[in-house]
Amino acid sequence: MTDPTMNWHVFESRKAMVAALKNVTTEHLLNGLLKNGKASWAVSGGSTPAPLFEAMSREGLDWSRIQVALVDERWVDADHPRSNEAFMKRALAKGHSAKARFVGMKTPHNSPSEAVEAVNDRFSAVTQPFDSILLGMGLDGHTASFFPAAKGLEEAMDPAGSKICVALTATKSDVTGDEVDRMSLSVPAIVAAKQAVLMITGDEKKRVLEEALDPSSDLPVGRLARLTSLDVYWAP
């Protein structure tokens, strides 16, 4: 593994951070459209990226040629209050971005492990590598659905893996909630992306990330940082 590479972008306010992220994300998607005639963006759920999605929905890109896919998903139906797919569509299926092609992960299968083949088939139709990936981070040091000690974590984080998406089962905690069965992009899919952004806010998450970057740390976000360059966008 290489030393962690983090390109830090520090802002005085969340508003300024969102404005900068909107610009750089738009630039990467536009580059994809100009070079390939299509583009792909993988996004995470949660409250932190909501203002970014609001801003992106107003961008006048040719969204009909942009695929917006999930970074990870709880194994719940789209009508579940904690569904990332539902969040993604509520946030982006409006304004200009309503014309995008949205790609979720949930299938009718009973578990993520049963659905891996089907979800990989679905994601193989999404333009690879992703033009941009938006990651978040929890206070337990997880990113995507790479939870510490999760079943399937080593396969998910194997840089030599061949799957775009992998199934994981987390250990239940305050961070995971009851939904421990997950589907996630794999480390190889993230590493291959043209841009990988880690968007975090607050001093506590900044401290967790800095601890994860210590060479002795086994936290998943730190392990990912030792495999690829991440653009960290942080505001208080």
113-144 tens-digit pLDDT: 999 999 999 999 999 999 999 999 999 999 99
Q: What is the pTM of this model?
A: 0.97
Residue 15, both tokens: 């508003």
pLDDT (average), residues 189-209: 98
Q: How many residues does the chain have?
A: 236
Q: How far apart are CA 49 and CA 31, in angstroms?
A: 22
Inform me whether the pLDDT recorded for 2 exceeds 50. Answer: no
| Tens of pLDDT, residues 14-62 | 999 999 999 999 999 999 999 999 999 999 999 999 999 999 999 999 9
Which residues 6+ apart lie within 8 Å of 123 measured at CB? Answer: 69, 103, 164, 165, 189
User: In b/e form, how buried is each residue of 78-110, taking b as 16+ CB within 10 angstroms?
Assistant: eeeeebbbbbbbebbeebbbeebebbbbbbebe
What domains are defined for the chain? 5-235 (3.40.50.1360)
CB 183 within 8 A of CB 145: yes
Q: How far apart are CA 138 and CA 100, in angstroms?
A: 28
